[in-house]
A and B are shown apart, each in its own frame.
Chain A
């Protein structure tokens, strides 16, 4: 099986310090980048699938030219190769541009499955993966808690998380599957993996290579723009309650009543 995992380098949420530049775009140099946490679950799922069924994993990113550093971490987990789409025209790309560019990049790759994370910790729109599926005409199976391909039958089954349980979905491959944390914790790269990642193939391509016209992708073609931003109002100072359980409980009950929750 050939599996492509969409991997996005995002500002490290734990480092803090994310900010917008004067142009209203995310300043990606302000904060160190990490692999988007939800994408790590997708990558882990892909690695388990190729262990079980054979095959290879390719990671694909649309990101600034500094991305290889972050992508190497994903390669160190066990992906065989990476493709980075980077271009001076792409900063400020909207979700639609991103879907078009990634769809364009996928056209040149062979795969049985494309796996993506549920959303990203920076943009968080959750609309790019369904957009890619629609652009490529791929079956779209989202919010997977389990992925069971049948390579011989050429189909894939997915347990999709639903409010009251799950739905079992089935579609022919190739297909695009959106992954969740329920698939299992991502592995830590081994020292051997880190060494191997250094020599793994990482191809860089530009917007023109994806076949998406410049007028349809990138900052100039963005369908949305940030027009203002402000820090949220600070939360009021915390009240600290100590004392007996009964006293503390009384304080909490009073607070809930005051806030009209009870």
Chain B
């Protein structure tokens, strides 16, 4: 197994496989096929069984490592330590993980412990000249770069929604694996888990995002955003102005100091689309805007802009969508 490509399977809140990991596994498989290398999935969790079984739909071999400490402690540095120990033993060529909060935290720990570099926020990857070539979108989408590792080994984090997850032709095998040794990094206790009303799936994973800005006028206005998102099976997003005004949670913020998203559809309501917001959403496949101001910055990069009063246009849109799906 030395020289294999590893994909890290993250668990979600229900203990299953996080959606990002299905995308990571699909990208890892394409790299392994191109490179002619083995592909191995690794799940490290208090109860890794369900996530490991799901990951085996994508990769031929999955190592399921039971690590009780993650049950009531912050997981990323524990998983990073265990993965580092396993990697030192088995010497994979590459570890691929998600670029969401868990994947980033884990990749940072892993990088520091192994002394391997990180190519972060991959939007695509290929294999050339004996190593991975990783594409990234930088400077808020102003430039696409391709990067490589200068050494033999490395870690790649993959941005959500850039790969379409596809199961392998045949399901793989799950093996229980153990990693001995003490956890040297300090444990961080999880003393409570609090669910918030209206909290949704991670917005980075949404295929459709309906986002509201200052033009929504208040928390009341955001109900309209929610209604349209529900109708389209999407998630609610927001600008910094809307979040700072307390109309919606920070977890839904898109842009420079919020999330970077790449949905199939981004529907921007009452959003002027200044650079700080643009950097978070401009790589969406389709962008539709509704705005009073035909000269708003978003008019320069949306596919479609409706110039008008969103409090008239959105109800009309809702009515037609409902009639269509009825």
Contacts of B300 in A (CB 8 A): 238
| Cross-chain contact A242 with B304 (CB below 8 angstroms) | no
| Cross-chain contact A135 with B308 (CB below 8 angstroms) | no
| Cross-chain contact A255 with B112 (CB below 8 angstroms) | no
The one of B186, B258, B288 that contacts A255, using a Cβ cutoff of 8 Å: B288
- Can you list 8 A-B pairs with a CB-CB distance of less than 8 A? A24-B145, A96-B116, A131-B112, A181-B253, A224-B147, A235-B303, A236-B303, A252-B288
The answer to whether the Cβ of A145 comes within 8 Å of any Cβ in the partner chain is yes
| Cross-chain contact A122 with B186 (CB below 8 angstroms) | no
The one of B104, B149, B240, B282 that contacts A223, using a Cβ cutoff of 8 Å: B149
The answer to whether the Cβ of A227 comes within 8 Å of any Cβ in the partner chain is yes
| Cross-chain contact A259 with B193 (CB below 8 angstroms) | no
| Cross-chain contact B77 with A185 (CB below 8 angstroms) | no
- Nearest to A125 among chain B residues (CB) is B120
Interface string of B304-326 (1 = CB under 8 A from A): 11111100110111011100110
The answer to whether the Cβ of A167 comes within 8 Å of any Cβ in the partner chain is yes
The answer to whether the Cβ of B21 comes within 8 Å of any Cβ in the partner chain is no
The answer to whether the Cβ of B109 comes within 8 Å of any Cβ in the partner chain is yes
The answer to whether the Cβ of B49 comes within 8 Å of any Cβ in the partner chain is no
| Cross-chain contact B120 with A259 (CB below 8 angstroms) | no
CB distance from A33 to the nearest CB of B (A): 14
Contacts of A236 in B (CB 8 A): 303
| Cross-chain contact B286 with A131 (CB below 8 angstroms) | no
The answer to whether the Cβ of B32 comes within 8 Å of any Cβ in the partner chain is no
The answer to whether the Cβ of B168 comes within 8 Å of any Cβ in the partner chain is no
The answer to whether the Cβ of A99 comes within 8 Å of any Cβ in the partner chain is yes
CB distance from B309 to the nearest CB of A (A): 7
CB distance from A51 to the nearest CB of B (A): 21
- Nearest to A168 among chain B residues (CB) is B192
- With contact pairs A182-B250, A253-B317 given, residues A261 and B208 touching in the complex (Cβ less than 8 Å): yes
CB distance from B279 to the nearest CB of A (A): 6
Interface size class of B (residues with CB under 8 A): 35 or more
Contacts of B118 in A (CB 8 A): 94-96, 125, 127, 223-224
The answer to whether the Cβ of A214 comes within 8 Å of any Cβ in the partner chain is no
The answer to whether the Cβ of B242 comes within 8 Å of any Cβ in the partner chain is no
Segment at the interface with A among B37-45, B50-58, B195-203, B212-220:
B195-203
B133-149 CB contacts (< 8 Å) to partner A: 133, 137-149
Main secondary structure on A side of the interface with B: mixed
| Cross-chain contact A16 with B275 (CB below 8 angstroms) | yes
Segment at the interface with B among A1-9, A66-74, A136-144:
A136-144
| Cross-chain contact A124 with B304 (CB below 8 angstroms) | no
| Cross-chain contact A121 with B279 (CB below 8 angstroms) | yes
CB distance from A65 to the nearest CB of B (A): 23
- Nearest to B289 among chain A residues (CB) is A238
Contacts of B76 in A (CB 8 A): 130, 140, 142
| Cross-chain contact B294 with A240 (CB below 8 angstroms) | yes
The answer to whether the Cβ of A126 comes within 8 Å of any Cβ in the partner chain is yes
- With contact pairs A96-B118, A134-B108 given, residues A13 and B140 touching in the complex (Cβ less than 8 Å): yes
| Cross-chain contact B74 with A140 (CB below 8 angstroms) | yes
Interface string of A217-241 (1 = CB under 8 A from B): 0000011111111111001101111
- With contact pairs A95-B117, A139-B188, A169-B189 given, residues A127 and B111 touching in the complex (Cβ less than 8 Å): yes
The answer to whether the Cβ of A262 comes within 8 Å of any Cβ in the partner chain is yes
Contacts of B307 in A (CB 8 A): 240-242
Contacts of B130 in A (CB 8 A): none
| Cross-chain contact A229 with B145 (CB below 8 angstroms) | yes
Interface string of B24-67 (1 = CB under 8 A from A): 00000000000000000000000000000000000000000000
CA distance A259 to B264 in the complex (A): 9
Contacts of A259 in B (CB 8 A): 264-265, 285-286
A interface residues, how many (CB within 8 angstroms)? 94
| Cross-chain contact B288 with A131 (CB below 8 angstroms) | no
- Nearest to A261 among chain B residues (CB) is B265
- With contact pairs A96-B115, A227-B146, A261-B286 given, residues A130 and B109 touching in the complex (Cβ less than 8 Å): yes
| Cross-chain contact B191 with A170 (CB below 8 angstroms) | yes
| Cross-chain contact B304 with A252 (CB below 8 angstroms) | yes
Contacts of B240 in A (CB 8 A): 181
CA distance A140 to B104 in the complex (A): 13
| Cross-chain contact A143 with B101 (CB below 8 angstroms) | yes
The answer to whether the Cβ of B184 comes within 8 Å of any Cβ in the partner chain is yes
Segment at the interface with B among A56-64, A78-86, A243-251:
A243-251
A110-153 CB contacts (< 8 Å) to partner B: 118-119, 121-135, 137-143, 145
The answer to whether the Cβ of A18 comes within 8 Å of any Cβ in the partner chain is yes
| Cross-chain contact B74 with A141 (CB below 8 angstroms) | yes
| Cross-chain contact B299 with A238 (CB below 8 angstroms) | yes
B232-277 CB contacts (< 8 Å) to partner A: 232, 240, 243-244, 250-251, 253, 256-258, 260, 264-265, 275-276
CB distance from A153 to the nearest CB of B (A): 13
The answer to whether the Cβ of B157 comes within 8 Å of any Cβ in the partner chain is yes
Given contact pairs A165-B195, A261-B286, a sample of 16 additional A-B residue pairs in the complex whose CB atoms are under 8 Å apart: A20-B145, A129-B108, A130-B76, A132-B112, A139-B188, A168-B194, A169-B74, A169-B191, A180-B257, A224-B119, A240-B307, A243-B308, A245-B315, A248-B316, A253-B320, A262-B321
- Nearest to B301 among chain A residues (CB) is A235
CB distance from A196 to the nearest CB of B (A): 27
The answer to whether the Cβ of A164 comes within 8 Å of any Cβ in the partner chain is yes
The one of A131, A139, A159 that contacts B109, using a Cβ cutoff of 8 Å: A131
